[in-house]
A and B are shown apart, each in its own frame.
Chain A
Amino acid sequence: MSTGTYGAYGGRYVPETLIPALDELEQGWRDALDDPAFRLELDTLRTQYAGRPTPLTLAERFAPGKRIYLKREDLLHTGAHKLNNTLGQALLARRLGKKRLVAETGAGQHGVATATMAARFGLECIVYMGREDMRRQQPNVERMRLLGATIEPVEFGSETLKEATSEAIRDWIANVETTYYLIGSCVGPAPYPEIVRELQAVLGREARTQILEQAGRLPEVAVACVGGGSNAIGLFAGFLDDSEVRLVGVEAAGAASLASGRPGVLHGARSSILADGDGQILATESISAGLDYPGVGPEHAALRDEGRATYVTVSDDEAVAAFWELSRTEGIIPALEPAHALAHARDLDAELVLVCLSGRGDKDLAEVLAR
């Protein structure tokens, strides 16, 4: 078994009850990767069900004087990069003989992507979602229900992604024999960060090939928004070995786990988290439900410490401005999460920039129009 650590980060900080399940998951994942039939099924689902590869679009009017290429994960089935992960993990769950999926969701995109795969494979699906997030992401709540998932409202604490994740893990602890916990980002105890990164890496590898074809060279900078960090780690995975490509993660100013966090333990892993001096997890505040999370994937914390990636913040207002701007100049309505990456990309001192447009903005219309 691998150590599941990234420098000083990662590991397994969970109740003992879950350790055997994590061992089983890790073994199952290794076996699956070695199994040509699993890889073939994954590839087939990616192309024939999910719609991969997604295109790379040059956003000419959004940033005059620059070439900003958008990796169009908004065009993936269900409207966000989240399906890359749920597709692979649902296959793994089925392989492990688990009939029940539990997941947490913030913006609702991961919940929708999980509910989608549960429907596709005939599995039971329970999604934990904070009451506040259910309010601000109502269309996704309705989509999940339509797909046959049960939504469990989480009504304590901040009523957002942090509490939803805790409740999903508690459900898993109680039902560990029958249940697969389908985590939505590159967070959580080992081996989840590695599994999610590997499943999202498809978007980074595609983007690398595409930008070489379309722009004739590698980008100066690759930019992605970071909540838990799964679309960013997927994008970065395509360019980690290209030392000339700068990697930039963009956090919400009110939820900057990397830009202003400290080492700590949240949801099963050691990472950079927003906590007070006693280790109590702090409340976050972002207009974007998908970034409204006080933790981040452990590999991002390690990439920051190594200096391989840098992490910056963007305010709610800047993100909303970019949301409008991309809609009006390119005819593409982005989700509020990648709107953070877009806002930063425009201001970069670089001519050729790759941005992961991780999802589409239909879910955010009410929130943006109400401002």
Chain B
Amino acid sequence: MKRLSVYLMAGQETPELAAAAVEGGADLLELGFPFSDPLADGPVIRRAAERALAAGMNTAACLECLARTRELVDVPLVPMTYSSLLEAYGYERFAEDARSAGANSMIIADLPADQRPELRRIQLVAPTSPDARIALAAKRTDGWLYLVTLTGTTGARTALSPQLAGLVERARRLTEVPLLAGFGISTPEHARAAAELADGIVVGSRAIEVAGDGPEALRAYVATLRAALDATDVRER
């Protein structure tokens, strides 16, 4: 079965939204811990981070949000953030406290595989990554590899990136870990096209926009993605 990861920004309503996303068919949740200057993010997630920070979502509040989300859902939970938060909190301490709060791994958007290798996390690779870096990231990654589908920041695009196919092909030759594709995936059509290549997808910016309309809207949106992915499974069988 293709995996469906949904990214939500940590906030007061996040546990209920997370539960709705799982009900809609998400089998993995990324929980954004907001950073003031998120270099890898486009406008939607940047603005969501600004709102979260204005609402008081500091690291302690985010960990609490993670713990409350863990009470409502059983799927893997993965905090996604930036180095600056871990610098301030302590890298090891962050890993421990996140695990205690129910996290299964983490993603640090500006910490490439050769920085702080001792910190277990899901590694990212991009279309620009040469084979040697894909191999390194795959070796160090925690469970699955995050394929950034395009050269750019997060955010919905009109079409699935044409760069994904080549990246998947190279990664398949180098590793057997599952490959999840993210960045720029927002519609069931994108989901289907990406899942024909990779083992699953990550949806972020569009999920955050839909989450603005509440849990039911999010559940319905995620269900359309789930249906698209399941259709891929049927065809592959």
Contacts and interface: CB of A to CB of B under 8 A. Distances in A.
Contacts of B53: 280
B7 interface: no
A163 B47 CA distance: 13
Interface in B182-203: none
Contacts of B111: 13
Contact of A20 (B83, B88, B110, B129): B129
Contacts of B123: 16
Contacts of A156: 46-47, 50
A176 B151 contact: yes
A contacts with B: majority SS? mixed
Interface in B60-112: 60, 82-89, 109-112
Interface residues of A, number: 39
B35 to A, nearest CB: 7
Given A177-B151, A279-B85, A280-B84, A16 B35 contact: no
Most buried by A among B82, B83, B113, B130: B83
A260 B129 CA distance: 38
Given A17-B126, A279-B88, A265 B112 contact: no
A62 to B, nearest CB: 39
Nearest to B81: A279
A336 interface: no
A15 B88 contact: no
B6 interface: no
B133 interface: yes
Contact of A275 (B86, B88, B113, B126): B88
A13 B91 CA distance: 14
Contacts of A119: none
A267 B88 contact: no
Nearest to A174: B152
A170 B154 CA distance: 10
Interface string B18-38: 000000000000000001110
B151 A17 contact: yes
Interface string B148-174: 100111000000000000000000000
Interface of A: 11-21, 156-157, 162-163, 166, 169-170, 173-177, 262-268, 270, 273, 275-281
Given A156-B46, A279-B35, 14 more contacts: A12-B112, A15-B40, A15-B126, A17-B148, A20-B129, A169-B39, A174-B151, A174-B152, A176-B151, A177-B128, A265-B87, A275-B88, A278-B88, A279-B59
When A and B form their complex, which 5 residue pairs have the shortest distance between CB atoms, in order from nearest? A279-B88, A279-B84, A17-B126, A174-B152, A265-B83
